[in-house]
Structures are given as C-alpha cells and as structure tokens.
C-alpha cells in the first residue's frame, strides 16, 4: 500500500504575508515609524529629484525638465576654477584638524567621570560640561566676538600683563585654532554621554579581578575600560570621517571676515554664496554633489579599513 508523502504542518509563508501579519499584530509600533518615514521621504529622498540640475543649465522659468542638459560641464567648471584647490585644502585641513583634536576629549572626560569618587563633583562636572552644547551657534560666535574683540575680556587681561591687543578673529593664522577649540569646549561634554553609557556596561567583576591582580587605575583603564568602549569609539570615528568635507556651515560663515577669508572659505560656505546669493543653482548643486560623493567614498573606505583592522564596522 502506497503511503502519501508527509507534508509539514507549517507552510512557508511569503515575505509579504509575514509582513502583513506582523503589521496587524504590532500596528501601534509601526505607527510610531510613520513620522520618521515621512520626514525621510519629504526632506531626504524627495529632494534627490532636484540633484539632476547639477547636469543641466537650470533656468527657473523653464523648470528642471525644461532646462538644457549640459552633462559634466558644471563639474569641469568647478575643477578648473582657481578656487577649487583653496576650497578643498581649507575644508580638508579644518575638518581633519577638528576630527583629530576633538576625538579623544569625550573619551578622556568619560573616563575621568567614571573614576570620580565624589557624586557631587561628578554631577557638577557633567552639568558644566553639558551646558555649552545647548548654546546656539549664533550666540556662541557672538560670545567669541565679545570675549576676543579689541576691547574684549581676553585683550583686557593681556593688557594687564603688558601685552598689546591681539586680533583673534581677524588673524587668519588663528582662525582654525579658534574654530576647533571652541568646538571642543562646546561639544565634549555632550559627546561623552555615549562613552559614559558604554563604561557603565562594563562588568564590575572585571575591575575586581584586575584589582586582585594588583592593577592600578591606569592599568584598569588600559586593559578593561578601553577595550570595552573601543567598538563604540570605532563606530563614532567612522561616522565622523563620513563628514570630512561637510563642516558646519553656520559657524564658519559667521566667523568669516575679509581678513581671514583665505583660510575660512570652505566648500559649504562657497556653495551658499554661489547658489543662493549669486543664483548659480546648477553650479552650486554640482559642487554640493561632488562634496557628498567624496564623503561617501571616504565613509565606505574607512568603514572597510576599520572592519579589517578591528572587526568593527557599520555594516
């Protein structure tokens, strides 16, 4: 007697059917995603439609599709411009300087707070270091103008020491230092939060074992804490390198003046001036697209390198 083949009671469902069932079961959780998805579609993906004007001679009266197609002409114009080298050098130097100088400070602050024996001191330090993050860029640059002006606090103190007034904001050789170290002062406390959270997840048993073996605090930091926060540090470093050519526009623009423009003019401020002030929309879009492509290449390269060296990556 021939027996019928045994058929499994669990029938494989298609991806679509599984998604529909999950949607019905967890529709409240999916509802929370709607505002985020709407934001991404409206402000991140839909504007990609306008990127094509980088390859056109855009005229507002003709619209995007009615404007003439010029191919790579706008990119060639930028590459052959006398500003290309200066813009690229200024942007890369300022961004790399900020990345290298600012990266270790949140880690150092987090380690110091983690080993603080006084809760009151820890809370006071956190409050003082977090507060500058909530100062807007305009207010920050205004504070810098007041403190570093010819009659500001810094020059007043230097005058008491018999040192003449220093042109902090108009000296091009000081622009990068002021920009980077004011950024460190403003962001270190806030950026240390994620490292503090990573340190809180370190097992106390590891520290107890290290103490039993005779390790001092520096040895515990090096052999216990640093390995624990290293994956977090690598991920944040990768994400930071993806913005090497995308420095904040507002702060640089507000700090610019005729005397420091030779080092203060970067790609983002140049795009603003060319695109919005001079109405060269196609040219400025081409520059912005070049900037984003380079950032993407750097991000993927650093991510691949980090994966090979440390086994930690975004993907």
Dist CA 154 CA 175 (whole Å): 16
Instruction: Kindly state the helix (H) or strand (E) to which residue 233 belongs, with its residue range.
Output: helix 226-241
**Are the C-beta atoms of residues 271 and 288 closer than 8 Å to each other?**
yes
- H-state helical runs in the chain: 15-25, 27-40, 63-66, 73-79, 83-102, 104-114, 119-130, 137-148, 153-160, 172-191, 193-200, 204-212, 217-220, 226-241, 249-255, 261-264, 267-272, 281-310
The token pair at 179 is: 């920009």
> Predicted confidence band at 11 (pLDDT cuts at 50, 70, 90)?
very low
* Number of other CB atoms surrounding residue 84 within 10 Å: 16
> Predicted confidence band at 186 (pLDDT cuts at 50, 70, 90)?
very high
Q: What's the pTM?
A: 0.82
Partnered with residue 59 across adjacent β-strands are: 63
Check pLDDT > 70 for residue 209.
yes
Q: pLDDT tens-digit profile of 102-131?
A: 999 999 999 999 988 888 988 999 899 999
What pLDDT, on the 0 to 100 scale, is given for residue 315? Answer: 66
Count of H helices and E strands in the chain? 18, 2
**Are the C-beta atoms of residues 106 and 219 closer than 8 Å to each other?**
no
Where do the domains of the chain lie? 73-310
Q: pLDDT tens-digit profile of 29-78?
A: 889 989 999 999 998 888 888 888 999 888 888 888 888 888 899 999 99
Q: pLDDT tens-digit profile of 148-184?
A: 888 888 888 888 888 878 888 888 889 999 999 999 9
Check pLDDT > 90 for residue 20.
no
Which residue, chain included where needed, has tokens 């750097």?
A: 298
**Domain 73-310, CATH among 3.40.50.2300, 1.50.10.10, 1.20.1260.10, 1.10.3720.10:** 1.10.3720.10
């Amino acid at each position: 007697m021939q027996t019928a083949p045994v058929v499994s009671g669990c029938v494989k469902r298609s991806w679509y059917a599984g998604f529909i069932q999950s949607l019905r079961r967890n529709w409240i959780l999916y509802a929370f995603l709607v505002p985020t998805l709407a934001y991404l579609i409206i402000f991140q993906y839909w504007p990609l439609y306008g990127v094509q004007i980088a390859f056109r001679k855009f005229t507002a009266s003709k619209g995007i599709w009615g404007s003439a197609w010029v191919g790579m002409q706008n990119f060639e114009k930028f590459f052959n411009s006398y500003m290309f080298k200066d813009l690229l050098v200024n942007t890369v130097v300022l961004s790399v300087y900020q990345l290298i100088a600012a990266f270790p400070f949140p880690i150092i602050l987090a380690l110091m707070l983690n080993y603080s024996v006084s809760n009151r001191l820890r809370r006071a330090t956190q409050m003082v270091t977090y507060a500058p993050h909530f100062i807007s860029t305009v207010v920050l640059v205004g504070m810098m103008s007041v403190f570093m002006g010819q009659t500001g606090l810094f020059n007043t103190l230097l005058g008491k020491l018999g040192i003449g007034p220093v042109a902090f904001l108009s000296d091009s050789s000081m622009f990068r230092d002021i920009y980077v170290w004011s950024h460190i002062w403003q962001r270190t406390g806030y950026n240390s939060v994620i490292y503090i959270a990573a340190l809180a997840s370190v097992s106390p048993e590891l520290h107890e074992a290290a103490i039993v073996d005779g390790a001092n605090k520096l040895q515990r930091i090096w052999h216990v804490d640093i390995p624990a926060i290293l994956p977090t540090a690598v991920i944040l470093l990768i994400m930071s390198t993806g913005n090497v050519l995308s420095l904040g526009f507002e702060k640089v623009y507000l700090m610019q003046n005729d005397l420091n423009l030779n080092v203060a003019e970067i790609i983002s401020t140049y795009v603003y001036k060319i695109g919005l002030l001079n109405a060269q929309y196609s040219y400025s879009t081409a520059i912005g697209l070049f900037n984003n492509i380079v950032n993407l290449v750097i991000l993927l390269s650093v991510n691949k390198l980090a994966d090979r060296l440390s086994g930690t990556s975004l993907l």
